[in-house]
Amino acid sequence: MISVITKRESILSTAAILFRQKGYAATSMRELAEQVGMEAASLYNHISSKEEMLKSICFQVGESYLLHLTEVNQMQAGFREKIARFIHLHLAITIQNIAFVSVANHEWKHLKEENLKTFLEMRKTYEAGVKNILIKGMDSGDFRKMDPSITLYTLLSSLRWVEVWYKENRNISVQELEKNIEHFILNGLST
Amino acid sequence: MISVITKRESILSTAAILFRQKGYAATSMRELAEQVGMEAASLYNHISSKEEMLKSICFQVGESYLLHLTEVNQMQAGFREKIARFIHLHLAITIQNIAFVSVANHEWKHLKEENLKTFLEMRKTYEAGVKNILIKGMDSGDFRKMDPSITLYTLLSSLRWVEVWYKENRNISVQELEKNIEHFILNGLST
DNA sequence: AGAAAAAAAACTAACGGTCGTTAGTTTTTT
DNA sequence: AAAAAACTAACGACCGTTAGTTTTTTTTCT
């Protein structure tokens, strides 16, 4: 089954790459258009604004994260397994959508008004969900008792570098990457 | 002894706060000037360009990091103690210079030409130095053998969230923050 | 100590440039 | 023929910075 990529999707994809590379504010519609192979004014046949692109990218990533959190929560498994699964899914999203994830991680602050507010709420929901797993894991004795917020942010942050660093030509397999990070984090959580 | 803050320092400090908040590219000289309490054109009595400010901020942070790496290397101590000291110093720089560190972490990509090149080299030197400690720690059996680059970036990244999150009114002491993170990282490194 | 001169710093005005986007016109596709 | 998509031209806005002018501060002189 051949997947057809629309012009809009192509524009979004290129936008994400440029936003990641140069930053949202420093990326102009003219250079985006040039990369796509058209004039800037023509972009508006496919997108409604620069802001709309940023929103679309950020919210797609946010929603993927929330979906996967739901999957982890529905697992019948211990907390270590849940965090391991969480790490796996998180890295999978990252590696498959490097540019989108990078933009959602770094450029969200350029969202306007309600978009920003909604995105931050979405993020807060996600973080609370992960924190909940950590807290339960601490209560059950699987994880060492530590300040839940510090633990949460240290964990999430320790995954963040991958979107900066990852390239397909790295001399390392995704499995090894994941195993190393998983070990680091699970040990970090242990008593 | 009363420390006199120059107008230039005040401008740089305010610039760092705004760059952190809005991003370098999205911060105008006019709004920076307004925050400092003057007209944009007057800034040029004290700084030579917008780029020069970004450079100054980034390089001050970079140099602090390198200084502290030197201190850690000169310690007569085991590798666990070295990493613990490294974490302590890293967090200390971060907490005392939130805006500067944040800008150096996120806005460096806006540096131009030679400034960018030099900054990236500086960073490379720093990372190589930390990686060296990790490798030696692995060789000595203090740390588990893992891919050194993955370990390095996971470690550095796990400290990164503090500049986003930290505020003086947090219900947590710096000591507890440090202790929690230190435990996470040292356990993550252990066999 | 006070006045005058010099230097520094602040202001106003404007330059040359870029930006996101809109409004027509033309071309291509349906 | 109609609709969609591409183009050209331009709008209104903002930008970093320079060049004068004015004001303030510092230095020099008596």
- List domains and CATH numbers for chain A: 57-189 (1.10.357.10)
Residue A51, pLDDT score = 97
pLDDT of residue B5: 85
- What average pLDDT is seen over chain B? 94
- B42-83 per-position pLDDT tens digit: 999 999 999 999 999 999 999 999 999 999 999 999 999 999
Provide the 10 A C-beta neighbour count for residue A102. 23
Yes or no: say if A7 and A14 are a contact pair by the CB < 8 Å rule: no
CB contact under 8 Å between A154 and B183, yes or no, is: no
Residues 6+ apart with CB under 8 A from B189: A184, A187, B80, B83, B134, B137, B142, B143, B144, B151, B155
What are the tens digits of pLDDT across the range A87-140? 999 999 999 999 999 999 999 999 998 999 999 999 999 999 999 999 999 999
CA proximity to B137, closest of B125, B119, B152? B152
Contact call for A184 and B25, based on CB within 8 A: no
The predicted pLDDT at position B1 comes to 46
pLDDT tens per residue, range A47-68: 999 999 999 999 999 999 999 9
Residue B2 pLDDT > 60: no
**Arithmetic mean of pLDDT, A60-80:** 96
Q: Find out whether B57 and B15 touch, Cβ atoms under 8 Å.
A: yes
The count of other CB atoms within 10 Å of the CB of residue B123 is 16
Q: Which residues in B lie closer than 8 A to residue A144 (C-beta atoms)?
A: 183
Q: Which residues contact A93 (CB under 8 A, 6 or more apart)?
A: A61, A64, A65, A68, A101
Q: Which residues of chain B approach chain A closer than 8 Å at the C-beta? A: 21-26, 106, 109-110, 144, 146-147, 149-151, 153-162, 165, 172, 176-177, 180-181, 183-185, 187-190
pLDDT of B3 reads 66
Q: What is the pLDDT of residue A169?
A: 63
The whole-number pLDDT of residue A65 equals 97
pLDDT of residue A184: 94
pLDDT at A5: 86
Eight-state DSSP code of residue A175: H
